[in-house]
Structure 1
Amino acid sequence: MLFNWFNKAPLLEEASTQWLLQSFSWCKNHFDADFFYQQTPLVIPSNQFFPGRADSVHGMAELIFERVKTYAGMAHWPFELLEPGQCALDAPLQIQIEDPLRGTDLPPAAADLPRLPVQYDPRQINNPEAMIATYAHALAYYLSGTATQPPPGDPEHHPHATEVLAIFMGFGLMFANSAFTFRGGCGSCQTVGRAAYLSEFEATYALAIFCVLKEIPPRQVTPYLKKHLRGFFKRAMREVSVANIKTS
């Protein structure tokens, strides 16, 4: 029994771990690995990363959305943030964005390009991590449409793959922290979560892959992670490091 302590079981099923690693490879191959390594930050759910205030819910929603676009390197894309109740037309099948797909201080897309709608739930204003993750997932969905190859796995797992892409874009903390929300309590509560595809442990594992690739130490992450995920995250970083994934 003593020596079994050194042979702990993998944190996730092997198929899940391999799919997450393959999904990160897909992200690096199709969505600018140089931008990932050189400019993608680990976005922190803090006032430092999301400063400012607005006098209305829509104003706050816009402030948060602008920050998400900037950190994703997609501020130049022709997005249109829609208030609840506004008609959301279907997005174009062919997204017309000139290279580079992601970057900083790029000129905005031409005014005559079709707008890419992004809707928000005003109740998420009281759950900003869920709102940030929802925005990041929407951006990742549109970005995924530029790939020349589909993500690994079955087509029904495309939403899961776009969540991995959003974590690759720097938003892993928000995905891990908001993947599970207890829905009990007061019926008049105006705080809502989000539709999550990855489990909180899968999202945390993907965050660990991000941090290993970016050489971000756990001490820069765990203060912002839910307490019950911190031990799992540290073990995931060790497991990913042992797997010796390529960083080039």
Structure 2
Amino acid sequence: MLALFKSAPLLEQQEQQWLIDTFIWAVENFDAEFFTKHTQIILPTGQYFPDSVSSIEQMATSVFKRVTTYAGMSAWPIQLVAPQQLQPQVFPRFEFSSVIRGERCELIVPPSHAINISFNPNQINQPQDLVASFAGTLATIMIHHVGVLPPGGKDFLPQAADALACFLGFGVMMSNTVYQFKGGCGSCYNPYANREAQLSETHTVFMHALVCYFKKDNVSKKHLKPHLRSQFKKAQKEIKALVSESANPLLLAYAPN
């Protein structure tokens, strides 16, 4: 009878395992040292985005620079251009000296051209969407450069980019922007400002909780949307149990003492 009151897991076992495998893939391919020593859980606060701006372009440039820095990708040949300047482009070939992220990241094979990315002007009034969109784009570029497919293969590249953006430290904004409620004022809702999420809210929250577990973060939960906090708390509990039962040496190595 007690089994009747046992709560269902947040995700199916196969879905949980894909997210855990994707975390392992991220650690193995996207600079584990930077993740361990430098990755922060970025919050939607003035502490992380303190710049004052007076135009759409300044807003986009300021947020782009901050996101690129937090991701450890300031040395990457990526430049922000206005939406009307964005054209189809071929991904350039380039190489780094040793690490691919952080202050020691250095190009040894300069690209023939920079990677141009742009922004959605509609997101200027939804800065969390702007941050999440930039983080997802940087994650996609990183995957393209490294060239190692995620668990599940190429069909899972879009989902893996969202998961990798959480790994880069942007899980709060990624979780908060999966779905935007219309709210009580129809004129305030702009569907064109929403980012195109590839993971559900629950999957994104679980991935964020997984990253927070290994980064020993207990602060970011209060910056999630209220209805996501209970999911995050449940994910934390399930992740702790999953890791404690795991025989994977990488997970055990990263687990908090």
What does residue range 216-227 of structure 1 map to in structure 2 within 5 Å? 216-217=217-218, 220-227=219-226
The aligned residue for residue 153 of structure 1 is 152
Residues 200/158 of structure 1: CA separation in 2 closer, same or farther (3 Å cut): same
What does residue range 89-128 of structure 1 map to in structure 2 within 5 Å? 89-92=88-91, 94-104=93-103, 113-128=112-127
8 Å contact 2:95–2:108 — kept in the other structure?
Answer: no
In terms of fraction of residues, the more helix-rich structure is 2
Q: What is the aligned-residue identity percentage?
A: 33
- 2:257 is the counterpart of 1:246: no
How many residues were matched structurally? Answer: 245
Structure 1: how far apart are the matches of 2:220 and 2:127? 18
RMSD of aligned C-alpha atoms?
2.2
Structure 1: how far apart are the matches of 2:141 and 2:97? 14
- 2:214 is the counterpart of 1:210: no
What does residue range 124-143 of structure 1 map to in structure 2 within 5 Å? 124-143=123-142
The aligned residue for residue 177 of structure 2 is 178
8 Å contact 1:77–1:109 — kept in the other structure?
Answer: no
8 Å contact 1:140–1:166 — kept in the other structure?
Answer: yes
Q: Which runs of 5+ in 1 are unaligned?
A: none
1:114 corresponds to which letter in structure 2?
A: H
Say which SS state the counterpart of residue 85 (structure 2) adopts. Answer: coil
Residues 156/207 of structure 1: CA separation in 2 closer, same or farther (3 Å cut): same
Say which SS state the counterpart of residue 85 (structure 1) adopts. Answer: helix
8 Å contact 1:213–1:247 — kept in the other structure?
Answer: no
The aligned residue for residue 11 of structure 2 is 12
Shift of residue 119, structure 1, vs aligned partner: 1.1
Structure 2: how far apart are the matches of 1:105 and 1:97? 10
User: What is the TM-score normalised by the length of structure 1?
Assistant: 0.91
1:121 corresponds to which letter in structure 2?
A: N
Residues 198/225 of structure 1: CA separation in 2 closer, same or farther (3 Å cut): same
Shift of residue 64, structure 1, vs aligned partner: 0.4
- 2:39 is the counterpart of 1:33: no
Once the two structures are superposed, residues 31-69 of structure 1 have per-residue CA deviations (whole angstroms, 9 ceiling, x without a partner) of: 111110110000011111001112210011000000000
Shift of residue 172, structure 1, vs aligned partner: 0.3
8 Å contact 1:26–1:152 — kept in the other structure?
Answer: yes
Structure 1: how far apart are the matches of 2:20 and 2:228? 20
Say which SS state the counterpart of residue 117 (structure 1) adopts. Answer: strand
Q: Which moved more, 1:61-70 or 1:141-150?
A: 141-150
What does residue range 10-89 of structure 1 map to in structure 2 within 5 Å? 10-89=9-88
2:252 corresponds to which letter in structure 1?
A: K
- 2:168 is the counterpart of 1:169: yes
1:216 corresponds to which letter in structure 2?
A: D
Q: Which moved more, 1:99-108 or 1:164-173?
A: 99-108
User: What is the TM-score normalised by the length of structure 2?
Assistant: 0.88
Shift of residue 2, structure 1, vs aligned partner: 3.9
Structure 1: how far apart are the matches of 2:198 and 2:69? 24
The aligned residue for residue 246 of structure 2 is none
Shift of residue 8, structure 1, vs aligned partner: 2.2
2:174 corresponds to which letter in structure 1?
A: F
Say which SS state the counterpart of residue 100 (structure 1) adopts. Answer: coil
Residues 127/188 of structure 1: CA separation in 2 closer, same or farther (3 Å cut): closer
Residues 91/71 of structure 1: CA separation in 2 closer, same or farther (3 Å cut): farther
Structure 2: how far apart are the matches of 1:51 and 1:105? 25
2:142 corresponds to which letter in structure 1?
A: L
